[in-house]
Structure 1
C-alpha cells in the first residue's frame, strides 16, 4: 500500500482511474501526506474524485491523537476553494486546493461525509450511500439546493451534542430544491442533526423531526450578534487532538459563521487581547479562563447561559458588538 500511495500521489493529476484513486485514499493516510508535502503550501487543482480520495486519506491516517477538518466555499468563478488540515502527534499538515466540479450546477460529494464544512451558492449532490458511507459526524453543508440520492439515509451514531450545544451535522438549504430519501435507516443521535430550510419548503416524516427555520437562523439581531459569534466559537472548540485545551481551526470557524476573513482576524486579535483565545498557527484555542465561563446559546435545562456568566462576558460582548458592526 505504501508503493500504491507513492504512485497515486505522483500521478494524481494524470487521470488515474477513479476506483483506483479512491481505493488508495480509503486505505492509507500516506496519499494526503505525500501530496501535501509535494505541494509545499501551493494551491492545487482537484476534481471531485481527487478531492474525495484526499479527504478519505486524511481520515484513514487519523489516530487517537489527531484531528482533521476539510473546508471549502465558493471561489470567484464556478470553483470552490478550500483547505484540508490535520493535526497529528507528529505535527500539522495542510493542503490548499481549488475544486472544479464536473457539473457547474452542483458539487458531487462522493467521498466521506464527515469532518467537512462546505458552503456554496450552488447545489450539493450526495450519491446513494453505499459501501458503508454514513452522514457525519462533524458535517456542515450550506447550499442553494440539496439532493441525497438513493432509498435510504444512514447517519453516524454520535453522542448527543450535550454540553457542546451544537449539532454535529447541519444542512442549510437556502432554496426550495430539496430531494431526500424516504427512509432514514440509521437515525442520528439526539440533537446531533439539524435540517435548516425556509418555512415554505415542505418536509415529510422522518425529516420533519429535524427541521429548523432558515429565516430564524439567518435573521441576526444586532444586539446579540457578538453573543452568537462567541457561542459558535465555543461550540467548535473541541479537545480532540489537543492536549492543551479546546481548539478549532481558523478555516472551520470562518466557514461556519458569517464574519469574513479580514474582519475575523480583527475579532480574534481583540479576543486574544482580552484573554479569551490563544492563537497558534491555524488553530484558535479557548483560554482556560474563557473555558471556565462557557455558556449554552440554546438555554437547555441545566446548562449555563450567557446571563449566568454575564460578569465575565459583558465587557467583551459590548466591545465585540462595536467591532462586528463594521463588518
Structure 2
C-alpha cells in the first residue's frame, strides 16, 4: 500500500474563464466532493502548495512571457490570451499556486513523506508553450516539475506519461531535444492541437525520446492497456527513469464532451497500475500526477477517484 498525497488549494477556484467554458472551477469542486463522499480523501496526506518561484517557471517559460502575463491580469472581467484561454483577476495567482503545488509535491516525494501525489490543480498545463498560453493552459506544470526534479533534487532521468485525450504539445516542445526526459503520449488524432504524429520522435540528441501514439476515435480500455504494455513499458524499462510524472487528463473517458474516445474509470485505474509498476521497478515508486483535462464532471470525478485509489493500492 502506497502513501499518497493530495495537493489542492481553494484559490484554484478563482481562475474563471466564464460561464459555459468547459475548464471551469466546477471541475475541482466535483473532484473534491467525490473524494470526500467516497472516503478517499481521508486516506490522503495533504500537501500545501506554495506560489512557484519565477526561477523555476523560467526553466520552461521565457521571462518575457511571464512578464506579459503579469501585465495583463485584469482587475475585473477577463482578458483573452488565445481563442480558448483567458485570465480573470484570480487566474495568475491560481497559476502560480498550481505550478507551486507540483513543486511542493516533488519535495514531499523526494523527502519520502509520500510515495506519490495527485495534484488537483488548475489551470492545467500541458498545452502551454515557452512563450504563450494555449488550450486552457498558462504555465506548463508538469514541464516545470520535471526541470525542478532535475535541477533542485538531482534526479536526471524523468518519464512523463501524458494520457490526456489532447496531445501535450507544450510538454513535447519543452523536451524534444533532451534525452534526459522520455515523453510518452496517447491522444486522439486528428484532434486539437494537431500535433503528436507518430513521426514526431524528438530532435537532435533527443531523437527517440519522444513517443507519440496517435489513436483513432473510439479506442477504449483494451486498446489503451495494450498500447501501454506494448509501447510504454518496454521504452520505460530501457530508459530506467528515476522519477515518473503523469499528465493526468481524464477527457479520453467515453462520456467526455470534448472528445470521442472510450476509456472508463476501470481503464484509468489499469493505466495507473501499469505506470505504478514502472515507477516501482525503476523510480522507487515515485509518481507525481497532475490534473490536465476532463470535462464531464461525473466521469472526471469518478475517474480521478479510481486513479487515486489505484495509486494508494500500488
Structure 1 and Structure 2 fold alike (TM over 0.5): no
- What interval of TM-score do these two structures reach, taking the shorter chain for normalisation? 0.3 to 0.5
Write 1 or 2 for the structure with the bigger share of helix.
2
**TM-score (normalizing by structure 1):** 0.32
**TM-score (normalizing by structure 2):** 0.33
The structure, 1 or 2, with the larger RCO (C-alpha pairs under 8 Å, 6+ apart) is 2
